[in-house]
Structure 1
Amino acid sequence: MKFSDAFISRKHMFSLGVEETTGRLYVSIPVSNGMVDYEEYYEIDRASFELFQKDIDAAVDFAMKCRRRELDELLIEKPGTNRGSAI
Protein backbone atom coordinates (compact mmCIF):
# COMPACT_ATOMS: atom_id res chain seq x y z
CA MET A 1 0.00 0.00 0.00
CA LYS A 2 1.13 3.51 -0.77
CA PHE A 3 -0.30 6.17 1.51
CA SER A 4 -0.07 9.72 0.19
CA ASP A 5 -0.89 12.60 2.55
CA ALA A 6 -2.93 15.48 1.13
CA PHE A 7 -3.15 17.47 4.39
CA ILE A 8 -1.02 17.33 7.54
CA SER A 9 -1.76 18.96 10.87
CA ARG A 10 1.40 18.90 12.95
CA LYS A 11 -0.37 20.83 15.70
CA HIS A 12 -3.14 18.23 16.03
CA MET A 13 -0.99 15.25 14.96
CA PHE A 14 -3.07 13.74 12.16
CA SER A 15 -3.10 13.67 8.38
CA LEU A 16 -5.62 13.18 5.58
CA GLY A 17 -4.80 11.40 2.39
CA VAL A 18 -5.41 8.72 -0.20
CA GLU A 19 -4.10 5.18 -0.48
CA GLU A 20 -2.92 5.28 -4.08
CA THR A 21 -3.43 1.62 -5.00
CA THR A 22 -7.07 1.40 -3.96
CA GLY A 23 -8.11 5.07 -3.90
CA ARG A 24 -9.37 4.73 -0.33
CA LEU A 25 -9.34 7.94 1.69
CA TYR A 26 -8.00 8.05 5.23
CA VAL A 27 -7.20 9.88 8.43
CA SER A 28 -3.93 8.76 10.00
CA ILE A 29 -2.59 9.22 13.51
CA PRO A 30 0.89 8.51 14.88
CA VAL A 31 1.33 5.65 17.34
CA SER A 32 4.26 4.05 19.14
CA ASN A 33 4.75 0.62 20.68
CA GLY A 34 8.02 1.45 22.43
CA MET A 35 10.12 -0.15 19.71
CA VAL A 36 8.91 1.73 16.66
CA ASP A 37 6.76 4.73 15.79
CA TYR A 38 4.28 4.24 12.96
CA GLU A 39 0.89 5.43 11.70
CA GLU A 40 -2.55 3.89 11.89
CA TYR A 41 -4.82 4.60 8.91
CA TYR A 42 -8.60 4.91 9.30
CA GLU A 43 -10.76 4.76 6.17
CA ILE A 44 -13.17 7.65 5.59
CA ASP A 45 -15.65 8.45 2.86
CA ARG A 46 -15.38 11.30 0.35
CA ALA A 47 -17.83 13.52 2.27
CA SER A 48 -15.77 13.20 5.48
CA PHE A 49 -12.54 13.82 3.57
CA GLU A 50 -13.93 17.05 2.14
CA LEU A 51 -15.45 18.12 5.47
CA PHE A 52 -12.21 17.52 7.39
CA GLN A 53 -10.27 19.70 4.94
CA LYS A 54 -12.66 22.60 5.64
CA ASP A 55 -13.55 21.99 9.30
CA ILE A 56 -10.45 21.35 11.41
CA ASP A 57 -12.54 20.86 14.57
CA ALA A 58 -14.48 18.00 12.97
CA ALA A 59 -11.19 16.42 11.87
CA VAL A 60 -9.68 16.78 15.34
CA ASP A 61 -12.78 15.19 16.90
CA PHE A 62 -12.48 12.24 14.51
CA ALA A 63 -8.76 11.85 15.21
CA MET A 64 -9.42 11.88 18.96
CA LYS A 65 -11.93 9.03 18.55
CA CYS A 66 -9.25 7.12 16.65
CA ARG A 67 -6.76 7.73 19.48
CA ARG A 68 -9.29 6.34 21.97
CA ARG A 69 -9.71 3.28 19.70
CA GLU A 70 -13.40 4.00 19.23
CA LEU A 71 -13.22 3.58 15.44
CA ASP A 72 -11.08 0.45 15.09
CA GLU A 73 -13.56 -1.02 12.60
CA LEU A 74 -12.31 1.64 10.14
CA LEU A 75 -8.63 0.60 10.33
CA ILE A 76 -7.26 -0.08 6.86
CA GLU A 77 -4.52 -2.34 8.22
CA LYS A 78 -5.41 -4.34 11.32
CA PRO A 79 -2.80 -4.03 14.10
CA GLY A 80 -0.68 -6.91 15.32
CA THR A 81 -0.37 -8.21 18.86
CA ASN A 82 2.08 -5.45 19.86
CA ARG A 83 -0.21 -2.58 18.94
CA GLY A 84 1.11 0.86 19.73
CA SER A 85 -0.51 3.61 21.72
CA ALA A 86 -1.48 6.95 20.22
CA ILE A 87 1.16 9.65 20.50
Structure 2
Amino acid sequence: MRFNDTYVSRDERFSVGIDLVTGGGYVSIPVSNGLVDYEEYYEIDPETYARFLSDPAVASSFAAECRRRERDELLIMPPGRNRGTPI
Protein backbone atom coordinates (compact mmCIF):
# COMPACT_ATOMS: atom_id res chain seq x y z
CA MET A 1 0.00 0.00 0.00
CA ARG A 2 1.40 3.38 -1.00
CA PHE A 3 -0.51 5.67 1.37
CA ASN A 4 -0.45 5.44 5.17
CA ASP A 5 -3.08 7.51 6.99
CA THR A 6 -1.84 9.00 10.26
CA TYR A 7 -4.96 11.08 11.00
CA VAL A 8 -8.52 10.35 9.89
CA SER A 9 -11.54 12.58 10.36
CA ARG A 10 -14.64 10.51 9.73
CA ASP A 11 -16.92 13.48 10.45
CA GLU A 12 -15.11 15.83 8.06
CA ARG A 13 -14.31 13.04 5.54
CA PHE A 14 -10.59 13.53 4.99
CA SER A 15 -7.30 12.00 6.08
CA VAL A 16 -3.72 13.14 6.51
CA GLY A 17 -0.84 10.76 6.01
CA ILE A 18 2.51 9.79 4.55
CA ASP A 19 3.18 8.68 0.95
CA LEU A 20 5.38 5.63 1.46
CA VAL A 21 6.91 5.99 -2.03
CA THR A 22 8.09 9.60 -1.72
CA GLY A 23 8.09 10.04 2.05
CA GLY A 24 6.02 13.20 1.63
CA GLY A 25 2.77 14.12 3.29
CA TYR A 26 -0.72 14.18 1.81
CA VAL A 27 -4.33 15.01 2.46
CA SER A 28 -6.91 12.72 0.89
CA ILE A 29 -10.63 13.12 0.27
CA PRO A 30 -13.17 10.54 -0.89
CA VAL A 31 -14.72 10.96 -4.34
CA SER A 32 -17.10 8.96 -6.52
CA ASN A 33 -17.60 8.88 -10.29
CA GLY A 34 -20.73 6.71 -10.34
CA LEU A 35 -18.75 3.55 -11.11
CA VAL A 36 -16.32 3.51 -8.22
CA ASP A 37 -15.54 5.35 -5.00
CA TYR A 38 -11.89 6.28 -4.58
CA GLU A 39 -9.55 8.75 -2.89
CA GLU A 40 -7.86 11.80 -4.34
CA TYR A 41 -4.46 12.53 -2.75
CA TYR A 42 -3.01 16.04 -2.46
CA GLU A 43 0.68 16.57 -1.72
CA ILE A 44 1.65 18.69 1.29
CA ASP A 45 5.09 19.71 2.54
CA PRO A 46 6.50 18.52 5.91
CA GLU A 47 5.67 21.76 7.71
CA THR A 48 2.06 21.64 6.54
CA TYR A 49 1.83 17.97 7.49
CA ALA A 50 2.96 18.77 11.05
CA ARG A 51 0.58 21.74 11.28
CA PHE A 52 -2.38 19.66 10.07
CA LEU A 53 -1.66 16.98 12.69
CA SER A 54 -1.49 19.56 15.45
CA ASP A 55 -4.54 21.53 14.23
CA PRO A 56 -7.10 19.36 12.40
CA ALA A 57 -9.37 22.39 11.85
CA VAL A 58 -6.75 23.87 9.52
CA ALA A 59 -6.54 20.52 7.71
CA SER A 60 -10.32 20.49 7.38
CA SER A 61 -10.22 23.90 5.67
CA PHE A 62 -7.58 22.60 3.25
CA ALA A 63 -9.72 19.51 2.52
CA ALA A 64 -12.65 21.81 1.73
CA GLU A 65 -10.46 23.66 -0.78
CA CYS A 66 -9.57 20.31 -2.36
CA ARG A 67 -13.27 19.43 -2.66
CA ARG A 68 -13.81 22.72 -4.51
CA ARG A 69 -10.88 21.75 -6.79
CA GLU A 70 -8.89 24.78 -5.72
CA ARG A 71 -5.77 22.66 -5.02
CA ASP A 72 -5.65 20.49 -8.16
CA GLU A 73 -2.02 21.47 -8.82
CA LEU A 74 -1.16 19.37 -5.74
CA LEU A 75 -2.81 16.13 -6.92
CA ILE A 76 -0.37 13.25 -6.57
CA MET A 77 -2.17 11.15 -9.19
CA PRO A 78 -4.20 13.36 -11.54
CA PRO A 79 -7.60 11.84 -12.38
CA GLY A 80 -8.66 10.69 -15.81
CA ARG A 81 -11.55 11.89 -17.97
CA ASN A 82 -14.24 10.52 -15.65
CA ARG A 83 -13.20 12.41 -12.54
CA GLY A 84 -15.31 11.79 -9.49
CA THR A 85 -17.11 14.32 -7.38
CA PRO A 86 -16.38 14.70 -3.68
CA ILE A 87 -18.47 12.61 -1.33
Per the TM superposition, whether the score is higher than 0.5 is yes
Following the alignment from structure 1 to structure 2, what is the Cα–Cα distance between the partners of residues 65 and 79? 17
Residue in 2 aligned with 1:9?
A: 9
Q: Which amino acid aligns with 1:67?
A: R
Give secondary structure in 2 for the equivalent of 1:58: helix
Output the amino acid matched with 2:56.
I
Match of residue 72 from structure 2: 72
Query: Within 5 A, what are the aligned runs for 1:1-87?
Result: 2-87=2-87
Root mean square deviation, CA, Å? 0.9
Gaps of 5+ in 2: none
Unaligned runs of 5+ in 1: none
Amino acid at match of 1:40: E
**TM-score of the pair, normalised by structure 1:** 0.96
CA distance in 2, matches of 1:53, 1:24: 14
How many residue pairs align between the two structures?
87
Q: C-alpha distance in 1, partners of 2:8/2:56? A: 11
Identity of aligned residues (%): 57
TM-score, structure 2 normalization? 0.96
